[in-house]
Amino acid sequence: MPLDHLQVPEELWSRENMRAALGVRDIGTVFRLLARHTGASQTRIGAAVGLEQGYVSRIIAGRKVSSIEVLERIADGCRMPDEARMTLGLAPRRRRCAGDMAAHPRGGQSDAQANRSWREDVQAATQLWEGDVNRRDLLRQTMFSSAGYTLPALRWFTAPAPQPVTQDGRRTVGQPDIDTIREMTATYRRLDNQYGGGHARDAVARYLHQEVTPLVAEGRYDPTTGRRLLTAVAELTQLAGWQAYDMADHGLAQRYLTHALDLSRAAGDAGLGAEILAAMSHQATYLGHTATGVDLARAAQQTARRAGLTVLAAEALVMEAHAHATAHDDRACTVALHGAEQALDRADRSGDPQWLGYFDEAYLSAKFGHCFHALGQHHQAERFAARSLRMDERYVRGKAFNLALLAAIHARHDEPDRASVIGAQALTLTTQLRSARAVRYLRDLQAHLVAHRRRPAVRHFITRVDAVLGPRR
């Protein structure tokens, strides 16, 4: 999907009133001038620059924009020429030639950061952490864009070999510092699985900003230590993105996952990169961007094979299958599922990293169940969904998801009473969670069962959902 750039007349950027607004970073005036000379609505401007229409409206009304990352988004979305960028206080960027753009029509973005250094990756990530802690309202106005994953994925495959990650900072960084980050990540990951993404998301952002930033930005480390440090930081950044995704902060989640991929690339960790690409695919498919979900899953497969991690290739094939199923492509889904089964048969799991511990038979069964459910193959879906419940009880959120899936299968198979009983079990677990995804699955089930609300079991379930989660909007 191409980026939804504004078509701005080149001469507009050289107008005196536009230059004056850029010089003082008066983005409200910039947006008003854009609307006047392009006819674009606030919604159209927001779509181009990756901001919600309501936030665009507040900027036009006088709200200041100080975040460099948001200014970069605005400049990119408007395709500002370098002179305008520099007037705004941003670095100039070289544009691709027409031939390069034609060779990669889905890109649509500048290539300014295609070959950026690991230091620039670190700086961009630390700015995100700081912005998340101090300017969360602004960050949450950012919208998800499937095209926003194009450049990071392209950079993953085309960037030169990683540079040595070494720095002469004020503070010595050693293995104990890296071990601490890994232990904190493991703790936060356990809390995420048990209580949902909203439980510790703020704590993870603060930890990244307050504890990790001084290590990566001001630390002194040799190439070996630096590479291990960036790998650990990339893993925690990926978790922060996953938590934001679970809380339906999809634009913010996309930015975290993008930075996590860049950090893993700088660290030369192909395995973690494959896992992050699979997470990107998961989010894109969940939001209905199935073509992007397929592309990212295939990118994860190629990366996993390059890293020699067969189990990761299997996971990526499952993600591809889910995207195909959501797009109602029965044949492509079946091929991908068969490939995943074959890959798992060959996989040696003795050396799996800790972040892949969730990928077990129950998780695989749940993904198969989702695929068959999306394709309307109810008996197959029910069999795999039931099997997914034979799972590690520490994954409370996962069990809530799997129960909701099984209930949805029964609801669609015209078994509303059974769906209501199983849905009530999912609701009980969801009350322990802070997970927008868990709530969405229950709301979807509730909406599907409304047609049967005269049945006592169904009416009881619908009423209980409203009592626990609040009235439906």
Per-residue DSSP letters for 165-234? --B--SEE--HHHHHHHHHHHHHHHHHHHHH-HHHHHHHHHHHIIIIIHHHHHHEEB-HHHHHHHHHHHH
Same domain, 83 and 134: no
Task: Please give the structure tokens belonging to residue 272.
Answer: 């973690």
Could you tell me the CA-to-CA distances from 135 to 127, 210, 260, 326, 382 in Å, in that order?
11, 15, 20, 35, 44
Distance CA 56, CA 302 (A): 39
Same domain, 121 and 264: yes
Same domain, 264 and 155: yes
Task: Please give the structure tokens belonging to residue 344.
Answer: 């798992």
Identify the weakest region by mean pLDDT among 63-72, 88-97, 361-370, 462-471: 88-97
Identify the weakest region by mean pLDDT among 106-120, 336-350, 401-415: 106-120
Same domain, 94 and 143: no
- Which of 63, 82, 105 marks a domain boundary? 105
Does 151 map to a domain?
yes
Q: Please give the tally of structural domains in the chain.
A: 2
Task: Please give the structure tokens belonging to residue 118.
Answer: 């690991």
Does 279 map to a domain?
no
Same domain, 234 and 145: yes
pTM over 0.95: no
With pLDDT > 70 as the criterion, what percentage of the chain qualifies? 93
Does 316 map to a domain?
no
Q: What is the DSSP letter of 14?
A: G
Where does the pLDDT of residue 418 fall: very low under 50, low under 70, confident under 90, or very high at 90 and above?
very high
Does 154 map to a domain?
yes
- Predicted confidence (pLDDT) at residue 148 exceeds the cutoff of 90: no
Helix axes 118-134, 197-207, angle to 10 degrees: 120
Where does the pLDDT of residue 248 fall: very low under 50, low under 70, confident under 90, or very high at 90 and above?
very high
Partners of 167 in beta bridges: 221
Distance CA 203, CA 309 (A): 32
First to last CA, the chain: 31
- Predicted confidence (pLDDT) at residue 436 exceeds the cutoff of 90: yes
Same domain, 62 and 168: no
Same domain, 20 and 99: yes
Does 242 map to a domain?
yes
Same domain, 129 and 99: no
Distance CA 375, CA 84 (A): 50
Could you tell me the CA-to-CA distances from 111 to 73, 158, 159 in Å, in that order?
14, 11, 11
- Measured from the Cβ of residue 158, the count of other Cβ atoms closer than 10 Å reads 11
Distance CA 31, CA 142 (A): 16
- Measured from the Cβ of residue 260, the count of other Cβ atoms closer than 10 Å reads 28
Phi and psi, residue 166, nearest 5°: -140, 145
Distance CA 277, CA 254 (A): 11
- Tell me the residue type at 108: G
Distance CA 403, CA 411 (A): 12
Distance CA 148, CA 62 (A): 27
Cβ atoms of 410 and 382 closer than 8 Å: yes
- Which of 232, 249, 268 marks a domain boundary? 268
Same domain, 184 and 250: yes
Task: Please give the structure tokens belonging to residue 127.
Answer: 């700015």
Where does the pLDDT of residue 16 fall: very low under 50, low under 70, confident under 90, or very high at 90 and above?
confident
Does 149 map to a domain?
yes
Does 343 map to a domain?
no
Which pLDDT score is estimated for 108? 35
Q: Whole domain around residue 120: which residue ranges?
A: 116-268
Does 93 map to a domain?
yes
- 79 in helix, strand or coil? coil
Distance CA 471, CA 59 (A): 33
Same domain, 87 and 120: no
- Which of 85, 105, 125 marks a domain boundary? 105
pLDDT per residue over 308-325, tens digit each?
Answer: 899 999 999 999 999 999
- Measured from the Cβ of residue 190, the count of other Cβ atoms closer than 10 Å reads 13
Same domain, 262 and 121: yes
Distance CA 301, CA 311 (A): 10
Same domain, 42 and 170: no
Task: Please give the structure tokens belonging to residue 164.
Answer: 């040595």
